[in-house]
Every structure is written in C-alpha cells, then in structure tokens.
Amino acid sequence: MISNKELQIAYGLAIILLVVGVLSYAVCPAKTPDQPVRLMFKCVAGKVLFDHNTHTAESGYGISCTGCHHNLEEGETEPQACGECHELESQDEDMPSRSDAFHTQCIDCHKEAEAGPEKCELCHVM
Amino acid sequence: MADNNVADNKKFIVSHAPFWHDGSRISLRNYNIALAALPAILLGIIYYGMPAVGVISLSISSAIIWEFVFCRVAKRSVTIGDGSAAIIGMLFGMLLPATAPWWLVIIGTFVAVVIGKQIYGGIGANPFNPVVVAIAIVMISWKDIFDFNEALMNYDLDFVMVYPLAALKHLGVSAVDSFSMGDLLMGKQSGGIGSTFGLGLIAGGIYLIIRGIIRWEISLSFLAGIFIAALIFNMTDSARYAGPVFHLFAGYTLIGAFFLATEDSSSPVNFIPMLIYGAGAGFLTVLIRNIGVYIDGVIFAILIMNLVSPLLDKIRPKAIGKVA
C-alpha cells in the first residue's frame, strides 16, 4: 500500500531534481581551466598523470612556460598544447612524435634537476 | 478451532486481527537513510560544486523515473512512493566522480533499478544490492570515467588530489605516506562525490544502527574483516602492503560498510551469518586491493558476498519466516 503523500513526495522529488540536474549539467558543466591543473596522457604503455600545476607554480618547481613550451616567441603568452605539433606518429625527422618529445623532455629534465621519476613505471601506470 | 490446552499455554497465544500498526513504513526507513547520507553528500558538493549537484540530482530523479516507467510497462502498481528508488539513485550518485557524464548516470540508474531490482520482483526480492550491480557494470564498461585521477584532473583542492588507492596500487606503500589519516577521515581525499567523507559516513552509519535500520553486525564485521586482513598483509610485508587504518579510510570502504553491504534483501538475517557475510566482504576487499588487479575491491567483494548470502542463511538456527 502506498499513501498518496508518499507518492506526491516521490513525484515532487523526481521532477525538482530532474530540473536541477539538467540545469546543472547544462548551465555549469565541469569547466576545463585555461591553464591545465593536471593532465592525463594516454598511451599503450599505461597512462601518465602529469601534474602541470606543480611544475609551473612558484610553490612547486616554478618552471617558466618557455622552459617546456619551446616555441613560444617573445611577448607571446599563450603556449600551444604539445599535441598540436607533436603528433602521435611522426614521419618528419624535424618533428619528434609525441612520445619521443615527452620522453626527451621529461626524462632529460628529471635527470638534470635530479628530481622526479626516471623509471618507466613511476610515470606509466596501467 | 479452539483447543483449551493450547490456549492455557500463554506462549502460543496470538491475538486475532485487527493488529495495531506502529505507523512506521518503508518510506520512513529510506528517508532516514537519505538523512544519514546527507553530510557526506554535502561535503562532496562543497568540494566539487555544481557538477556534483548535477550528478546527484540527475541520479536520484532518473532512478525514480526508471522505476515509474518500469512499473507502468510491467502493469504493476507504482512503487516509487516507498523511497527505495530514490535511495538507489542517491547511493549510485555518491559513488560517482563529480565529472560523470549525464548518460552514464542515466544508464547506471537504469541498470540499478530495472536490472538490479525490478526484474526480480521489486523491493525485497533482489539477490544483489542494485547500486553495487550498477556500479560494477558501469565501472567495468567505462573504466576511464572511474579513474578518479583522470576524472578529477581539473580540480585543484587544498589536499593531495591523487586517488589514494590508485597511488598505493601504482606507486607502492611509500606513496601512502603523503596522505594523513586525519585528512582521509575528514574527506580530504579525491574520490566519489559522497564516498570520501569518512567521519560523515561513520556518523550516518551510527545513526542508522541506533535507529535499527542497518545491522551493526554487518557494518562492524565488514570493517573488522578489512582491518584484520590488511593487518595480516601488513605484518607479513610492510614494504609491499599498506597498513590497516589506510584501508579503512580510503576508497569505498566506509560507504560500503554502512550503506552498501547492509542493504536488506541482499544480506543475511541471522547473527552468525551476518558476521560471516560482513567479515567475508572485508577480507575479499583487501585481497582484491592487495593482490588483485582492481584498485578498489569493495564493490566486487560485496557482490560476491551477496551471492553467498542465501547459503549463509542456511546456517542454523533458520531465520523465522524466510523462505528458501
């Protein structure tokens, strides 16, 4: 036996929360910030979680944009995403593929700074 | 047929109808569960903002709507008034990351309400916890969405934003040192919207135990199972296996102990069977976390123990009134 009051509560809840839910999804979708906080690189050897914020923030490693985004010209403030030039697979000798570019950049810098992981499994997780 | 000898024996007297109903209803139980879950949900909303509101709201409403639609299609009386569908939706939403897409929420509540509950005959007839069935299916189907590191990568909150169990699995015990147990308990960890605020979940669980809505035997034996199993692993090799307190406060442990494992129709009803059920689920959770491939084992552990729950109830003395 279901009382009318219970049914009314359920109908009311369903309708109100449906409106709230649809509005939340439509009006305030999860935003992608202009400057990434963390990035997840996906590849066959296991995903890599890259903490962009820790690398750039003053309280972190404080690396300047040009430290990694090497093609930034004087006065330019908005670096391109790595993947815009470095494609997944590259036949072009002057343009390393994405995995080569990341491997060179990350590992060299970690070695140089004697900080950060250098072994495969410390970045790549399955 | 009146038999004076039997009637003299006071033990066998059962008064005839009408009986007096104390006024409690199934809906009241479910309203209480919603109340108990509220602190954990609120903290999730404070941390993750409007996207979390969207996931929880859509999850509750779509679960109610699926139940309504199914009842109509199956020509059954509409049962949404008992609040069970709303609770299924609420718990399902609490386990999701705040960035879960709308279609995942709607598919998940369909699986929970229709496949997890209604096709078995509705409330009280489901062999598995509907929420756990749904989470298991969507988690296996779309595992990137349940990778909390990836799902929450745009959030920058004031605590370590790496999913604790993922850190343990991928980087080993040394990674656990970056989490303080107090932070984990206070909800300062990444994870599902309503599954990270340990203290809130414990408070809600204690409230439900005092109101007699969930059984302490299941909750406590589940936590004890996790603690003991994790302690055994930790004592055999503390360099490879994290300590028991970490396992208690990380991942889905506490929401599992107080809100998932305790679901009525998929858990045993007698004292000893309840203890075995809870402890078994706890043990399996740690086994899956420590030597399995999955990051968190709570969901699969509860599903497996749901499966053996009818067998556990065979242990004597038999439960009064329970068929099969």
Chain B interface test: which of A32, A34, A49, A119 (most B C-beta within 10 Å):
A49
For the record, the structure tokens of A88 come out as 């997944």
Extract long-range pairs of B70-74: CB within 8 Å, 24+ residues apart.
B70/B113, B70/B114, B70/B118, B71/B118, B74/B118
Q: What is the ipTM of this complex?
A: 0.86
Mean pLDDT on B52-80: 95
Of residues A6, A9, A30, nearest to B99 (C-beta): A30
End-to-end CA distance of chain A: 51
Chain-chain contact of B61 with A21 (C-beta, under 8 angstroms): yes
Of residues A20, A39, A121, nearest to B57 (C-beta): A20
pLDDT for B108-129, tens place per residue?
Answer: 999 999 999 999 999 989 999 9
Mean pLDDT on B246-263: 95
pLDDT bracket for residue B5 (50, 70, 90): low
pLDDT for res A93:
79
Mean pLDDT on B56-71: 97
Q: Which residue in B247, B261, B251, B276 sits closest to B215, CA to CA?
A: B261
pLDDT bracket for residue B156 (50, 70, 90): confident
pLDDT bracket for residue B2 (50, 70, 90): very low
Chain-chain contact of A6 with B77 (C-beta, under 8 angstroms): no
pLDDT for res A28:
80
pLDDT bracket for residue B198 (50, 70, 90): very high
pLDDT for res B21:
79
Rounded Cα distance between B254 and A76, Å, is: 49
Q: At CB < 8 Å, which residues of chain A contact B?
A: 2-3, 6-7, 9-11, 13-18, 20-25, 27-33, 36-40, 47, 49, 53, 121-122, 125-126
Fold of A39-70+82-125: Cytochrome C3 (3.90.10)
Q: Which residue in B243, B236, B322, B238 sits closest to B286, CA to CA?
A: B243
For the record, the structure tokens of A118 come out as 């250098």
Residue pair B102/A27 in contact (Cβ under 8 Å)? The answer is no
Average of per-residue pLDDT values in chain B:
91
pLDDT for res A118:
81
For the record, the structure tokens of B69 come out as 């639609």
pLDDT for res B213:
94
Give B55→chain A minimum CA distance, Å: 7
Q: How does DSSP classify residue B316?
A: S
Percent of chain B at pLDDT > 70 equals 93
Chain A residue nearest residue B166, CA to CA: A125
Q: Which residue in B313, B304, B309, B315 sits closest to B282, CA to CA?
A: B304
Residue pair B134/B111 in contact (Cβ under 8 Å)? The answer is yes
**B264: contact with A, CB 8 A cutoff:** no
3-class SS of residue B319: coil
**B240: contact with A, CB 8 A cutoff:** no
Chain B residue nearest residue A40, CA to CA: B150
Percent of chain B at pLDDT > 90 equals 75
The alpha helices in B3-147, defined as continuous H runs, are: 4-8, 26-48, 50-73, 84-95, 102-110, 130-141
Which of A39-53, B141-155, B168-182, B190-204 holds the top average pLDDT? B190-204
Chain-chain contact of B80 with A28 (C-beta, under 8 angstroms): no
Q: How does DSSP classify residue B112?
A: I
Mean pLDDT on A29-45: 83
pLDDT for A62-120, tens place per residue?
Answer: 888 888 888 877 777 788 888 888 888 878 878 888 888 888 888 888 888 888 888 88
Q: How does DSSP classify residue A40?
A: E
For the record, the structure tokens of B247 come out as 């396992």
Average of per-residue pLDDT values in chain A:
86
Rounded Cα distance between A120 and A103, Å, is: 10
Whether pLDDT at B39 is above 70: yes
pLDDT for res B1:
42
Mean pLDDT on B62-83: 95
Chain-chain contact of A21 with B79 (C-beta, under 8 angstroms): no
Whether pLDDT at B263 is above 90: yes
Could you list the beta-strand ranges (E) of A10-112: 39-41, 47-50
pLDDT for res B50:
93
What is the side-by-side order of every strand in the sheet holding A124-125? A39-41, A47-50, A124-125
Whether pLDDT at B320 is above 90: no
pLDDT for res B85:
96
Contacts of B153 in chain A (CB under 8 A): 36-40, 49
Q: Which residue in B248, B253, B263 sits closest to B195, CA to CA?
A: B253
Residue pair B255/B308 in contact (Cβ under 8 Å)? The answer is no
Question: In b/e form, how buried is each residue of A68-91, taking b as 16+ CB within 10 angstroms?
Answer: beeebeeeeeeeeeeeeebeeebe
**B15: contact with A, CB 8 A cutoff:** no
pLDDT for res B323:
60
pLDDT for res A66:
84
Rounded Cα distance between B83 and B133, Å, is: 19
Chain-chain contact of B80 with A7 (C-beta, under 8 angstroms): yes
Amino acid letter, residue A120: C
pLDDT for res B318:
65
Chain A interface test: which of B24, B26, B45, B53 (most A C-beta within 10 Å):
B53
**B216: contact with A, CB 8 A cutoff:** no
Whether pLDDT at B24 is above 90: no
pLDDT bracket for residue B9 (50, 70, 90): low
Chain-chain contact of B98 with A30 (C-beta, under 8 angstroms): yes
pLDDT bracket for residue B18 (50, 70, 90): confident
Give B3→chain A minimum CA distance, Å: 35
DSSP letter string, B179-219: S-HHHHHTT-S-S-TTSS-HHHHHHHHHHHHHTTSS-HHHH
Helices B102-110 and B130-141, axial angle in degrees (round to 10): 130
Chain A interface test: which of B26, B45, B50 (most A C-beta within 10 Å):
B50
